[in-house]
Amino acid sequence: SAATFKEKGNKHLQAQEFDEAIAAYTEAINLDPKDHVFFSNRSAAYLSKGDAKSALSDAERCIALNGSWAKGYSRKGAALHSLRRYDEAISTYESGLAIAPSDAGLKSGLAEVQKAKESHSSPGFDNGGGLFGPQMIAKLAGHPKFGPKLADPTFMMKLQMAQKNPQMMMSDPEMMEVLQAILGSFGGGGDDDIPAPASSTTHKRKETQKTEPEPEVEVSEEEKLERDVKKRSIAAKEKGNELYKEKKFTEALAAYDEAISIDPSNLMLLNNKAAVYIEMNECNTAIEICQSIFEKARSVKFSFEDRAKVYQRIAAAHLKMNDIPEAIKA
């Protein structure tokens, strides 16, 4: 039956067997071409495989069959984001939110694509990343010394000149200090998402804030499977983070490899591996890993914020090798 093929597809998708999942969902569609969920699931499988065009086609067919189902708009928005058709993605997410204003997936998808569009169109610096790309400038904004200087046109001009002429940074003490502020430690902490310990005042302030509870949203079986994959991958990643902080680098690499085997779509796990190799003084290996991320990112959704973090990792590797010009050009 169609339901049986759908369940087979779900199991293959959970196991990251994308071709098999697509084949199973196709069989389900052949038996019941009017079920919008089948097209949604196959769209997810196509996008996970890296085929954003096919994912978009299935998402559009899903919406055509059931235009009141929020998940269809999430699928279409994600496919358009992956294709870097940002305005269309934004419009799609907004259309979905008009139908389901409280849908968390639509909200987060819209926020991600808006951030990607903003980073892509930011003037003044190399949008591909670079040491002084938009995300790195945002990092400087929080620095107690250099944050206020971002309002100084002369300082901003020096940053742009340093991007174009790395030798200038080597002869300018202030620019060298900026470099250290941007990169921080060589490895970057292993995991880019580890938050700094909150101060007691911050903790108290958060306790006094009252937020309305989010309304419960019905979760499909496919979403439960996706969440399970993410949960297991994150657990392995966090294990790697702890091992990294304990300087058990071989064990950390093994933990990150486990996380990648569970969820190969999370390219930032490779960025964590690169941080380990930097600490092991295998900087060329770290750079190769980062470059492989960009190769894989050509066919999947990859935010500009994450892209900037990978550029930062490459720059950190060059800096540890005392190759400042390449660090700036990274």
From CA 76, how far away is CA 93, in angstroms rounded? 8
Q: Above 90 in pLDDT, residue 16?
A: no
pLDDT (mean) for 121-132:
48
pLDDT in tens, 276-293: 999 999 999 999 999 898
Query: Given pLDDT bands bounded at 50, 70 and 90, which one contains residue 271?
Result: very high
From CA 109, how far away is CA 112, in angstroms rounded? 5
**274: its two tokens:** 């690169």
Distances (CA, A) of 87 to 18, 113, 115, 233: 28, 9, 12, 31
**198: its two tokens:** 């909150």
Question: What pLDDT is recorded for position 219?
Answer: 56
Range with the poorest average pLDDT among 75-84, 109-118, 132-141: 132-141
Q: Above 50 in pLDDT, residue 189?
A: no
Q: Are 117 and 232 in contact (CB under 8 A)?
A: no
Radius of gyration of the chain, Cα coordinates, nearest whole angstrom: 22
Range with the poorest average pLDDT among 110-114, 160-164, 258-262, 270-274: 160-164
Question: What pLDDT is recorded for position 29?
Answer: 96
Question: What pLDDT is recorded for position 165?
Answer: 65
The pLDDT > 90 percentage for the chain reads 35
Which residue has better confidence, 286 or 127? Answer: 286
The amino acid sitting at 121 is S
Q: Is 234 exposed, middle or buried (0-12, 13-18, 19+ CB in 10 A)?
A: middle
- The three-point CA angle 218-55-273 to 5° equals 85
User: Is 62 in a helix, a strand, or coil?
Assistant: helix
Distances (CA, A) of 317 to 59, 125, 174: 40, 22, 21
Q: Above 50 in pLDDT, residue 149?
A: yes
pLDDT (mean) for 256-266:
89
From CA 234, how far away is CA 285, in angstroms rounded? 24
Question: What pLDDT is recorded for position 243?
Answer: 93
Mean pLDDT, the chain, whole residue set: 78
User: Is 130 in a helix, a strand, or coil?
Assistant: coil
Q: Are 36 and 62 in contact (CB under 8 A)?
A: yes
User: Is 122 in a helix, a strand, or coil?
Assistant: coil
pLDDT (mean) for 2-19:
88
The amino acid sitting at 274 is A
Tokens 């849908």 appear where?
103
Q: Above 90 in pLDDT, residue 330?
A: no
Q: Above 50 in pLDDT, residue 172?
A: yes
Question: What pLDDT is recorded for position 203?
Answer: 42
pLDDT in tens, 289-309: 998 988 887 766 677 667 778
Question: What pLDDT is recorded for position 220?
Answer: 66
Which residue has better confidence, 89 or 158? Answer: 89
Range with the poorest average pLDDT among 76-85, 116-125, 173-182, 240-249: 116-125
Strand ranges (DSSP E) for 206-256?
A: none
Distance between alpha carbon 34 and the CA centroid of its chain, in Å?
33
